[in-house]
Structure 1
Amino acid sequence: MLICLQKVSAAQYDGNGRVWTLTGIVVDMNNKPLPSATITISELETSTSSDKNGRFNIAIPEGIDSIRISVSYAGKKNTERILRKKEYSVYQEFLLLDLNLKLPEVEISSYRKKTKISNSSIVFDREAIEQSQSLSLANVLHYLPGKTILKPNVSLQGPQVLTMRNALPLNGIEATNNAFGISVVMDDAVRSNDANMQTMGLTTRGSAYQINPPETRQARRNGTLYDSYNKVSRADNGIDLREIPVENIERIEVVSGVASARYGDYTTGMVIIDRQAGITPWSLNLRNNEGTQNVALTKGFKLTPDWGVFNFNLNYLNSNDDPRNKIKSFNRVASGFIWTYQGPKANRFRNNLSFDFNTTLDATKEDPDASDDRSARYKNTHFSVSNRSEFKLHKPWIKRLSLQGSFSWGKQDAYDQYYLNSSTVEAITDAVESGVHEGYYIPGYYLAVRQIIGKPVNASARIEAGNLFTKGKTVSNLTIGANYSYSANKGPGIVIDPRRPRFADQTRPRPYYQTPANSNIGAYIQNDLRTTFLGKPISLNTGIRSDFQNAYFTLSPRLSMNYKLSKSVSWNTAYGISTKAPSISQINPGDSYLDIPLLNVYNGSVNESIYLAYTEVVKGRNLRIKPYKNTTLETGFSFAKKAVQWSFSVFKTISKDGFTTQSAPLFLSLPAYRAITSPGTKPSYELIPDSANQYLRTVSKLVNGAYSRNSGVEIMLNTQKIRALQTSFSLNTALYYSYYRSDSPSVYIPEPPRLDLEAVYGVFQNSESKGTSIKSTLISSTHIPKLRMAIILTGEIFWVSKQQLLPTFIYPVGYYDRNLSYHPLSAEEARQPAYAHLLKTAPLFRTTYNPSFVYPNIHARLSKEIGPFLRFSFNAYNIFNLRPREKTATGYSYYNGQPSYGAELKFTIK
C-alpha cells in the first residue's frame, strides 16, 4: 500500500478547523490494486474503503499528532502502522500479503483488544479462525476463556448456544437466561431468536390431585412436566451456533463486558461477526472427522465495469456421531453472498448487501430396530437479507450517515411419531373453554403424531449520524442513532390430531400466526472523547440509550475509560446497564388446559358409554413481562511489549428480573355427578346435590423472578514467536463465581402426595445455588515458514468445578394442609422430621464437585501447505486418551470425550 499525506491549504476548512487529507492506494503482492479494502483509523473511530483503483482518502483533523492505520481485506493479512506527524510527508508503501503459512507470523489464538465497541473485547481474526479447523462458529468460541473444547462431532448433535462468565450448570435457568442475553450480530444485522416458538408451552402437562376423594376414586394424572419440545432449536434461548459456518468470516469480536450505547437488547454479551467482500481465488475445503463430512466452496469476483466486488460461499455438512442411532443426525446446507459497492466520488458512499440461506436436510427417519414405529424429523430453513449504506457528507453539522436494514424468514418443523398401545380405550376431551364438557372415547392403540411448525419472521432497521469535533489535542466523536426491531411467527404452530394425541392431555392445537407480533424501539447518543490527562493519552466513551421493550421504558447508561499509563501499560474500566426484551413465546406462552375427569362410565360400547370432564383454561396471553436487566462493572490492565502481551480483567455483573417459571396453586371445588344408565342407549347424568370435591393443581407461569451475580478474573497472555524454537505461546485462565436465586414462590406436590399427613403440599420461597469454576487453556504454536507448516498443541486444565444447592432450595417455608389452609414454617421447623416428606433434595447432596480432582485434556492440530494451492490439516481431540473417571452411586462418571481425529484439505485455484 502506498500512502501519501498532503496538507490542505490554509484557506480550506471543514467547519471545525484545519484538516489534513490522507490518501493512499491498496495493492496485493503482484502490485494490483485491491478494491473495497477497509481502511480504519482508530483515533477517529472512522473507516473508509478503497475505490476500484485501490485508492482512498480520509480527512485528519489538525490536532492529531499520530494515527494508527489498519487495512484489512478478504483473504489477506491485516496490516497496521502508526504514523506520526513528522512522517506525514513521507510516502510509505505497504503490501497486503496472502494469508498462508509462508508468512513470518501467524496468529493462532484470540487476543484482548480495545475497540470502538468495548474496552475489553476478545478478537479472533481470520488466521485464528482458519487454524481452529472449525466446523461452525460454535467450535471457534470454545476457545474463549473458561470455555470447554468439545469433541467436534458431539458439538453438532444438539443445539449449541453460548454462555459467558458463568460457573453454574448449563442446563439451569441461569444459564438459559445467560445464553438468551447474548446478541449475535452479523454484518451489523442482529441474528434474533425472539420469534422462535418451538415449544409445547409452560403448562401443557401437569398434575391434578383430588384432595378429598373416596378411597376408590382418587383422580390422579401423570405428574411429569413436559415444558419444552425444541429439537430444531431452542426457544427462549441463544442462537444455535451450528447454523453459522466460518469460511467467509474475517473477524469475530466477543464482548463479555460493557458494549457501547449503540448496542441494545442484550445483557450477557455480544458476538460481532464481520465478513468482507473481496477479490479472492476459488477455494475448496474438504473436511472429515469420524462421522462428520464437510465441504465448503468460496470465491470473490470483481464486477465490471465499476460495480464493486462480489463474494459467494457454499457449505455442506453431514454429521452422525453414532451410526447405531438411525434417527439422530445433523445435516446442514448453507450458502450466501456479499456484495460491496464503493461510490466513485471521494469515497462518499459505500453499500454492503448480504444474503444468507441455510437449511437442514433431515427427512423423516425411522429406526428399523424399533417395534413402535418411532420416527422423527427435525428441519430448519432460514434465509436473511441485510443491507448497510454509509454516506460521508463532510458538512459542518454532520460528517457521516448510515442506514441499515435486515429481514429474515425461517421455517422450523419438528415432527415425531410413536405407536401407542397402552389400553383398550382412552377418554379424551378437547374443550377450549372452562367448564364441564362431554368427552369421547378413542382406541387405546394408534400411531400418535406430534408436530410443531414455526415460521419466525424478524426485521430490523437502524439510522445513525455522527460528527467529529476537535479542539487542540482533544478529539470528540459524537454519534446519535435509533433502531427498530420486529418479531413475529406466521407458522401453523402446534399441530395435533385430537384423536391421536401423544399424551392424553395434549389434544389442543395452537396456531402461532394468531400470536401478536412484538416490536421494540430504541434511541441512543454516545461520544468518544480522546485527549490527554497528566500528559498521558486517555479515551472516554460515554453514552446512554433508551428502549421501549414490551411496553416498558428503560434507560441504559454506558461508560468506559482507557488510560495509557505508559507506552506499554494501559488501565481500563467500564460500567454499564443493559436490558434484554422478552421473546414472543415468553410474552405469549399459550393457554394451558387442565382436564379433570368427573364421570367415566364405559361398558365396552362407545354408544352406551359416557365421559364427563371439567376443563380449566389458564390464559397465557400478552403477559406483562419486564425486560431482563444486567449491570456490569469491570476493570483491568493490559501490558504490551514486542515480546509479550498480557491482560488482567476483574468483573462483577448483577442480573435482575430474569425470566423464570413460578409454580402457583390452583384450587378447584367441583360437583360430583352420577350416571343414569339404560341398556342399548347412551347414559345420561345428573348432579349429586350438595356434593363437592376439591382439587389442587400447580400451574406454571412465566415471571420476572430470577436474580444472579457473576464475578471473576480473566487473564490472557500471548507471546511473540521465540525464534530459537520457532514457537509462540498463548495462555488464558478464567476464575468465575456465580450465585443464582429464584424469588418466585412455588407450590410443590410430593410424589405421591401424603394425604394422611398434616402437611400435604410444600411451599418453597427461593431456589438458590452457587458455583465456582477455574479453568486454564495453554496453546503452543510451532510455525516454520520455510516448511510452510504449523504444529499447534492445546492443553486444558480443569482446576475446580463446584456447585452448591443452598438450604432454601431444599426446605419449605410453609405448607398447605388437607383443608387448603396455609401454615408458615420457620427455618428450624422446616428441618423437623414431620416435614421430611416435603424436602426436594436430601441435604447430603447440596455440595458437589465435578469432579473432585484436577484433570487435563490435550489436543493437537497440524497444518502443512504444499505450494500456494494445497493445504493439508490434521486435528486430534484428546490425543493422549485422557479420560479420568470418578465413582458415583450409580457407577462411574467419565471426563473428556473419547479421542477423535479429523483431516482437512484446502484447494486454492488462482
Structure 2
Amino acid sequence: MAQNINLRGRVVDEKNQPIPFAIVNLTNIERYTYTDTLGMFSFSIPSKTHITDFEFKISYVGKKAIEAKIPLGNLSSQLIFKMVDLSLTLKDVEVNQVRKTQNSNSSIVFDRQALEQTQAFSLTDVLNNLPGKKLVAPDLQNPQTITLRSEAKGLQSLNNSLGIAIIIDDIQQSNNANMQNRNVSKWGVGSNIGSATYGTFDVPFSGLDIRDIPVDNIESIEVIQGVAPAKYGDLTDGAVIINRQAGKLPYQFSTRINGGSTNFSISKGYKLDNKWGAINVGTNYLKSNENPSDKTKVYDRVSGNIMWTSYFLKGLKNTLSIDYSYKIDNVKQDPDDGTELMTYSKGRNLSVSNRTSLNINHNIIKSLNASLGYSSGYQETYNQRYLNGATKGITDKDTSGVIYEGYYIPGNYLAVEHISGKPLNFNGNISLANEIYTGGLLHQISIGGNAYYSRNAGMGVIVDPTKPRWANTAYQNDRPYDFESLPNIVNYGVYVQDNFKVRFFKRDLSFNLGLRYDIQNEQGNIQPRLSANYKLSNDIEFNTAYGISTKGPTLAHRYPAPTYIDLILLNKYTGYVDESILLVYTDRIIPDNTNLKSSQSNQFEFGFRMKKPLFNTSLFGYFKSNTNGFSNNTVYKTYVLPQYDYTYVQGSRPIVKPNGTYSRRYVGINTVGNDLNSKNYGLEWGLALKKIEAIQTIFNINTSFNYSIYHNSTQRVVPTSQNNIDLGKVAWFGIYPANEYYDWTLMSKFSSTTHIPKLGFVINLLADISWQTISKTLSDSYLPIAYYDIDMVRHEIPSFDRNNPEYGYLSLTSAANSKTKLPFSYVNMSIRISKEIKQNLRLSVNAYNFLNVRYRYYNPDTGNVTIYSYPTSVGAELSIKF
C-alpha cells in the first residue's frame, strides 16, 4: 500500500507565540483544518494524488492572510508560518478588491483591508466599487438593492435583485416573507406605501435592503457575478457571500461622518480557555438625516452581534451567532402642514445561526458541514394624510356577486394606510465530502441539501373602512387582509458536485461539475452548474462556465390580497344621508398563483487571465438569458349590470327600482405572471500595472460593457373607450404586440493607489468614466393583431382594415421609437486618504466628486435640464484599537 504524505506545520504570531484555531486550507486539493491550542496542524495526503506542490491559505481574524505555494520537494519536517497583524505599515497590503477563482471563476473579493479602505456606512458603499457600478456618496435615505450583470429597468431590475443571494456565515438571508406592499390587484407588482416627497422604504418583490447591513465586523466579502456552485440554491443572478470570524481582537472603536449621517461601532474579541475557542461581541449605530437643518426625514439603524466559536472535539469547529437589528425610515409630521402628512417604515429582526464543520477523514466521509439559521422579524409601514373633500360613498362588504347598499362618510378625516408583518425564515444546509480515486485521478465529491422555510404571522393589511386613503380607486376599496392565515413557503433542494483535475498538454485542466435539483412552489427544477479552468502556463489561464439556476416566488408573489371590484350602480347623495342612496355591485376574486413558476437564468461565461512581471490583466465575457421573470399583467373582466330609476322623497328613503336596461362595463385587474424575459451580454476588462516603487503607486483600470434587451412576453391588451362600448361596438379590447426595450452602458473605473508603508499612509484616487448610456424602446405596432369581445372571446385580425366597423377604431396613435442617450462622456473623481499611527489609530477622509465638477445638459427640444453629477460630499472616519 502506498504511504501517505504527512504535512505538519505550526502557525505563530510576530512574537512566535502560537495562534490557536487559525484556518489552514490546502486550496489546490480543497482540504482544510484548524490549528490546535499550540498552533499546530497536520494533513495526511495519499501519495497517489500525484501532487507536485501544495498551495496554502492560512487565515485568522485580525491577521494578514498567508498564501504560499510549497513544492513537494521543499517540505520540511515542520512548516512554520508567521502571521502579522493587519496594518497599513505592511509592505504588501491589498486595499482594493481583487478577482480570484474561489466559488466562481469570476469572483471579486474584498478582504478586511479593502473593506476598511472603503470607509463604508453599509454594504452598499462596498458594492459600489464593483465594475459597472458608480461610486457615489452614501445614500441612506432610500432603499438600496444590488443588481448584477444586467442593465434592464423596472420589474426586470426587481427580478435581478431578488435573484441575488446574500449569504452571511453560510446562512442565506431571505426576503421571501416580506409582504409590505400595497394591494397588487389595484396597484400592481412593486407598489409600496411611501411618501410623495421621499419615495418608498420597503423592498417586497426584490432583494434585501443592503443599507441595513453594516460591514465593521466582516472579514471578507465575495461577489459571485457569474455561475455559482451547485451548493447554492434559490438564486438566479449571483451571490454576495459574507464571512465573519471569531477570534482574539483588541477593542476597536470606529466612527464616521458624511453629510447628515453619523455612524459609531465598537467591537471586541475574547480568547477563551482551551477548546472553548473565542467569543466576539460588537454593536453598530447609525443616524442619518436627509436635511440636518429640519430633520424631517430620518433613517436610524442599530445592530448588535455575538459570535462564539468553539473546538470541543478534534477536527470540530462550531460557531454560534446571534444578531439583532432595528431600523426606521421616518418622515416626521410637519406641524405647519395642514394635511398632517406622516410616513414611517419600521423593522426589527432577531436571527440565530449555527455552523458546524467536522473533519472526519474516514474512507467514506472526509468532512461534514452543517448550518442552521433562524430569523424572526417585525415590519410596520404607516402612512397618513388629512383629507378635506366631498362626502364619499364607501363599499366594504366581503361578498361577491350581489347588489347591496353602501354608506356615506364625511369628506374630512385622517386617512391611513397601515401594514404590519412578522416575517419568519428558517434555513438549513448540510453537505458531506469525500475523495474518490479513479486511477491517479482525484475526485473531490460533495453531496448536500438545503431547506428554506418562510411564513408571515403579522396582522397584515389593517383597514378602517371609515378612513380610507384611496377611496374607490380603480373600482376597488381596501379590505383587511390577515397574513397569519396564509400558507407557508417550503422549498428544498439537493445537489452533487465533483471537482477534479486532469493533465492536458502537460498543464492542469480543472473541472467543477455540479448538478442541483430544487423543489420551489411544489415544482421541480434541474440545474446543471459546470465550470472549467485551464492553465496554459504559469502566467496564463482560461476558464469557462455554464449554469442554470432558479428563484422561487415569494409570499408576496404567491398570495396577493383578494380583489374586490366595487361597481357603483347608483349614487344619489342629497346632502342628507337619510334621503340618499348608494347602490353597489361587488365581485370578490381570489387570486390563484399555485402554478406560478420559478424565475430562471441560463448563463454562459468565459474568462482569461494573464500575470506578467509588469502587469496583470483579465478579460471576462458573459451571456445570460433570464426567463419566467415575475411580471405585472393587467387582465380585464367585463360586466353587464342592471340600471335603476331613482325617485327622491323628501325626509325619507328614495324609491329605487330597476328600469329593465343594462350597462356594459369593464375593469382592469393587475395579476402576477411569469412573463418577463431578458437577454444580457457583457464584457469586463481589467488591467493592473506593477507597483512603481519610485512613487509607491499602483494603477488599475476596469472597463465594462453591459447590454440588456428585455420584454414582457404577454401581448398588450388596451381597452377601447367607454363611448364605443356604450354605442354597442363589437371589439372591446385591442390586442397588440408586446413592447421591447434595450439598455446598454460603457464605463471605466480608474484607480491609483499610493501606499507608503513606513508612514502607514494610503491615497486612493478613483475615477468613474461614463462613456455612453443608451436606453431605447424598440418598434411597437400601433395596429391590433386581434381583439376581445364583451365575452372575452379572442378574434384574430389577419390584416388590419381601418374601415372595418367591428374593429377599425382600435388603431392607436403611431409614435416614433423612444430613445435616450448620454449627450457626452463625463468623469466623476473621488479620493480616499488613510493614515495609520502606531497600528492603533487610523484617520481617514474621503471626498466624492472632490473637484466639484458639475455636468449638466440642456435639452433644447424639451427644455429640460439633466444633472449628471452631484455636489462634493466629504466624509471622515476615525478608528481606534485599544
TM range (shorter): over 0.9
State how far apart, in whole Å, the 1-side matches of 2:259 and 2:513 are: 50
| Aligned partner (choices 348, 373, 376) of residue 343 of structure 2 | 376
Shift of 1:168: 2.8
Task: Give, in angstroms, the shift of residue 390 of structure 1.
Answer: 1.3
Deviation sequence 1:193-222 (CA, Å, 0-9, x none): 11111111211259xxxxxxxxxxxxxxxx
Shift of 1:61: 2.6
SS at match of 2:411: strand
- 2-side partners of 1:648 and 1:39: how far apart? 31
Instruction: Verify the 8 A CA contact 1:523 1:545 in the aligned structure 2.
Output: yes
Q: CA deviation at 1:678?
A: 4.0
Deviation at 1:375, TM superposition (A): 1.0
**AA in 2 matched with 1:635:** F
Cross-structure match for 1:167: 151
1:12-31 correspondence to structure 2 within 5 Å: 18-31=3-16
- 1:618-767 residue pairs with structure 2 within 5 A? 618-675=589-646, 677-683=648-654, 685-689=656-660, 691-749=661-719, 761-767=733-739
Q: Structure 1 residue 268: deviation in Å?
A: 0.7
> Equivalent residue for 1:467?
434
CA drift at 1:167: 2.1
1:543 positional shift: 1.1
Aligned AA (2:147): T
CA contact (8 A) 1:662 1:746 kept: no
State which of 551, 574, 580 in structure 1 corresponds to 2:522.
Answer: 551
Aligned-partner Cα distance in 2 for 1:705–1:634: 25
Q: Distance in 2 between matches of 1:719 and 1:268?
A: 31
Return the alpha-carbon distance in structure 1 between the equivalents of residues 132 and 826 of structure 2: 15
Say if 1:305 and 1:113 are closer, same or farther in 2 by CA, change over 3 A.
closer
TM-fit CA distance, 1:887: 1.7
- The corresponding residue for 2:227 is 258
CA contact (8 A) 1:35 1:278 kept: no
Q: 1:186 aligns to what?
A: 168
Contact 2:424 2:455 in 1 (8 A): yes
Q: Residue 281 of structure 1: SS of its match in structure 2?
A: strand
Paired letter, 1:84:
P
Distance 2:35 2:633 in 1: 56
| Residues in 2 aligned to 1:762 and 1:881: alpha-carbon distance in whole angstroms | 52
The answer to whether the 8 A contact 2:99-2:108 is kept is yes
Separation in 2, partners of 1:810, 1:173: 23
Does the CA contact (< 8 Å) of 2:444 and 2:498 recur in 1?
yes
Q: Distance in 2 between matches of 1:821 and 1:908?
A: 73
Within 2, Cα distance between the matches of 1:280 and 1:313?
Answer: 11
Partner of 1:772: 744
AA aligned opposite 1:40: N
Q: Percent identity?
A: 37
CA distance in 1, matches of 2:800, 2:254: 65
Asked whether the equivalents of residues 753 and 761 of structure 1 are also in contact (C-alpha less than 8 Å), the reply is no
Aligned equivalent of 1:138, options 124, 149, 160: 124
Q: Is the 8 A contact 2:499 2:510 kept in 1?
A: yes
Correspondence for 1:278: 247
Is contact 1:656–1:707 with CA below 8 Å preserved after alignment? Answer: yes
Is the Cα contact below 8 Å between 2:833 and 2:844 reproduced in 1? yes
Q: Which amino acid aligns with 1:741?
A: H
For the structure 1 residues 109 and 685, does the alpha-carbon distance in structure 2 shift closer, same or farther, using more than 3 Å as the test? same
Structure 1 counterpart of 2:184? 202
C-alpha contact (below 8 Å) 1:372/1:418 kept by paired residues = yes
Tell me the CA shift for residue 825 of structure 1. 5.4
1:328 corresponding residue in structure 2: 297
Q: In the TM superposition, what whole-angstrom CA distance separates every residue of 1:599-628 from its partner, at most 9, and x where no partner exists?
A: 122222222322111112221244310111
2:57 is the counterpart of 1:57: no
8 Å CA contact 1:750, 1:838 repeated in 2? no
Distance 1:358 1:838, change over 3 A: farther
For 1:97 and 1:640, the matched residues in 2 are separated by 26
Secondary structure at the counterpart of residue 316 of structure 1: strand
State whether structure 2 residue 29 is matched by structure 1 residue 44. Answer: yes
Deviations 1:224-244 (A, max 9, x none): x99433744211101111111
Q: Residue 603 in 1 paired to residue 574 in 2?
A: yes
Q: Is 1:392 aligned with 2:359?
A: yes
CA deviation digits over 1:258-279, x for unaligned, max 9?
Answer: 1111111111111111111111
The 1:830–1:491 alpha-carbon spacing in structure 2 relative to 1, beyond 3 Å, is farther
Provide the C-alpha distance between the structure 2 equivalents of 1:755 and 1:615, rounded to a whole number of angstroms. Answer: 21
One-letter amino acid of the counterpart of residue 180, structure 1: L
- Give the distance between the partners of 1:86 and 1:861, measured in 2 at CA: 45
Specify which of 342, 345, 366 is matched with residue 333 of structure 2.
Answer: 366
Matched-pair contact (CA < 8 Å) for 2:120–2:126: yes
Q: Deviations over 1:416-440 (max 9, x none)?
A: 1100012134444343434222211
| Structure 1 residues 427 and 488: CA distance shift in structure 2, 3 A | closer
Q: Distance in 2 between matches of 1:27 and 1:783?
A: 27
314-323 or 134-143: which moved more? 314-323
Equivalent of 2:834, from 843, 863, 871? 863
433, 436, 458: which one pairs with 1:491?
A: 458
Report how far residue 60 of structure 1 moved: 2.2
SS in 2 for 1:203: helix
Aligned residues: 865
Q: Residue type of the partner of 1:785?
A: P
In 1, are the aligned partners of 2:491 and 2:520 still within 8 Å (CA)?
A: yes
So what's the TM-score if we normalise by structure 2? Answer: 0.94
In the alignment, which residue of structure 2 is the partner of 1:111? 98
User: Which SS does the other structure have where 1:127 is aligned?
Assistant: helix
Q: CA RMSD in A?
A: 2.5
CA distance in 1, matches of 2:599, 2:791: 38
The SS at the match of 1:786 is helix
CA-CA distance at 1:365 after TM superposition: 2.1
Work out whether residues 550 and 582 of structure 1, in 8 Å CA contact, stay in contact via their aligned partners in 2.
Answer: yes
Distance 1:195 1:831 in 2: 53
2:819 is aligned to 847
| Contact 1:429–1:440, Cα closer than 8 Å, also in 2 | no
8 Å contact kept, 1:429–1:613: no
- Contact 1:656–1:706, Cα closer than 8 Å, also in 2: yes
Q: Output the CA distance in 1 between the equivalents of 2:800 and 2:854.
A: 44
Distance 1:754 1:793 in 2: 64
Of the candidates 133, 137, 142, which is equivalent to residue 158 of structure 1? 142
Q: Deviations over 1:299-336 (max 9, x none)?
A: 11112353111111111111123346644221101111
Moved more, 186-195 or 604-613: 604-613
Mapped to 1, the partners of 2:853 and 2:311 lie a distance apart of 53
Contact 1:873 1:905 in 2 (8 A): yes
Distance 1:139 1:66 in 2: 39
CA contact (8 A) 1:633 1:651 kept: yes
Structure 1 match to 2:197: none
Q: Say whether residues 1:895 and 2:879 are aligned partners.
A: no
Aligned residue number for residue 780 of structure 2? 808
The alpha carbon displacement at 1:837 in A equals 8.6
| CA shift for structure 1 position 630 | 0.8
Structure 1 residues 808, 303: CA separation in 2 closer, same or farther (over 3 Å shift)? same
Structure 1 146/466 Cα, relative in aligned 2: closer, same or farther at 3 Å? same
Unaligned runs of 5+ in 2: 195-199
Contact kept in structure 1, 2:779 and 2:817, CA below 8 Å? no
Letter in 2 for 1:255: I
* One-letter code aligned to 2:735: V
For residues 803 and 77 of structure 2, the distance between their equivalents in structure 1, rounded to whole angstroms, comes to: 81
